[in-house]
């Protein structure tokens, strides 16, 4: 396949590197030092799946790259609408886009711009981050991608992409109920990222301290209640299973939200606890933990965005 990747951070960079190593044509949109590093040495990956460098096509604009069959959208959540609007003819007729953002809003935003038939639901699970421009550090279990229908049937449309991922060492799951799968991930990532950013703690510290562990569990429960109010059916016992998942994370694991907040970069706060707080208000559901996380982190988030604009 010819696969485009918008955003070569921890998620996009790792997937681009693995797919290119497996022999697929990969074209990425990158900027600044990342674009220079990728042009010079390719995407460099350090992973339990192997340490390697692989060349990919790279440009600062999607318009400078030949069209692709599939676009993996791996920019930050707040960048989704702008990134899609700047794609131009990057996505071939008949192709589709797969949003891989944290949060629960990206697929809807993408469909509003491209049309329902050009968006396939996507979410990912992987512990990976930029170690330096053009270089990705991946730890823990093999990366996993879940695909599913989002307002448009997917029968036969995602077979080639599924095979491409599997051949690259990426676990693939096809969700019969994609909205439920999306919200199940959201339960974890919004809560783990928010509690971690607020407490400045790793997974090991959060699960070891009873009070902080309970805070995380209660944050899980808040989102589960919101999901139920929206008519989203999570798997039975999902909150307990999610806490078990946290118990299996590497001791030093942190979420990208926490890393961005600590580093003073713009984060996905508005798409995480901010989205929970907004949904709670709209549905009349009490979500005091996520409302507090959002309010407490908002000053640093606004300061980071002001610096980015300046």
**174-184 tens-digit pLDDT:** 999 999 999 99
- List, in order of start, the domains of the chain with CATH numbers: 2-176 (3.40.50.720), 180-309 (1.10.1040.10)
> Mean pLDDT over residues 38-55, rounded?
97
Residue carrying structure tokens 């949003």? 99
Q: Could you tell me the pLDDT band of residue 282, with boundaries at 50, 70 and 90?
A: very high
Of 156 and 277, the one with more pLDDT: 277
Radius of gyration of the chain (CA): 19
CA angle, residues 118, 124, 130, in degrees to nearest 5:
110
Query: Is 127's pLDDT higher than 80?
Result: yes
Query: Which pairing describes strands 43-47 and 50-54: parallel, antiparallel, or unpaired?
Result: antiparallel
| Spacing of C-alpha 104 from chain mean position | 10
> Mean pLDDT over residues 58-78, rounded?
95
> Mean pLDDT over residues 209-216, rounded?
98
Query: Is 310's pLDDT higher than 70?
Result: no
User: Whole-angstrom Cα distance, residue 56 to residue 6?
Assistant: 13
* pLDDT of 281: 97
Query: Is 111's pLDDT higher than 90?
Result: yes
> Mean pLDDT over residues 47-54, rounded?
97
3-state SS assignment for residue 33: helix
pLDDT digits (tens, 9 = 90+) for 214-261: 999 999 999 999 999 999 989 889 999 999 999 999 899 999 899 999
Q: Could you tell me the pLDDT band of residue 151, with boundaries at 50, 70 and 90?
A: confident
pLDDT digits (tens, 9 = 90+) for 92-105: 999 999 999 988 99
Encode burial over 138-171: b for 16+ CB neighbours within 10 A, e otherwise: beeeebebbbbbbeeebeebbeebeebbeebbbe
Question: Roughly how many angstroms between the first and final C-alpha of the chain, as a whole number?
Answer: 40
* pLDDT of 172: 97
* pLDDT of 271: 94
């Amino acid at each position: 396949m010819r696969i485009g990747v918008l955003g070569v951070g921890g998620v996009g960079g790792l997937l681009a590197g693995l797919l290119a190593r497996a022999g697929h044509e990969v074209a990425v949109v990158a900027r600044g030092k990342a674009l220079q590093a990728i042009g010079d040495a390719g995407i460099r990956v350090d992973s339990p799946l192997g340490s390697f460098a692989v060349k990919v096509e790279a440009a600062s604009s999607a318009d400078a790259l030949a069209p692709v069959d599939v676009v993996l959208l791996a920019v930050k959540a707040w960048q989704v609408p702008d990134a899609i609007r700047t794609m131009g003819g990057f996505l071939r007729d008949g192709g589709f886009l797969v949003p891989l953002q944290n949060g629960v809003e990206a697929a809807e935003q993408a469909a509003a711009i491209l049309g329902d038939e050009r968006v396939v639901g996507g979410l990912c699970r992987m512990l990976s981050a930029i170690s330096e421009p053009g270089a990705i550090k991946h730890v823990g279990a093999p990366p996993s991608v879940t695909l599913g229908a989002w307002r448009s049937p997917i029968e036969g449309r995602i077979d080639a992409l599924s095979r491409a991922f599997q051949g690259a060492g990426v676990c693939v799951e096809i969700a019969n109920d994609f909205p439920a799968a999306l919200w199940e991930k959201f339960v974890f990532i919004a809560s783990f990222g928010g509690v971690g950013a607020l407490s400045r703690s790793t997974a090991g510290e959060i699960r070891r301290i009873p009070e902080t562990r309970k805070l995380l569990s209660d944050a899980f429960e808040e989102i589960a209640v919101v999901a139920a109010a929206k008519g989203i059916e999570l798997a039975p016992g999902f909150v307990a299973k999610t806490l078990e998942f946290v118990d299996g994370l590497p001791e030093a694991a942190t979420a990208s939200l926490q890393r961005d907040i600590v580093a003073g970069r713009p984060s996905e706060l508005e798409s995480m606890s901010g989205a929970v707080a907004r949904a709670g208000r709209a549905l009349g559901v009490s979500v005091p933990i996520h409302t507090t996380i959002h309010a407490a982190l908002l000053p640093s988030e606004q300061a980071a965005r002001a610096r980015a604009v300046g």
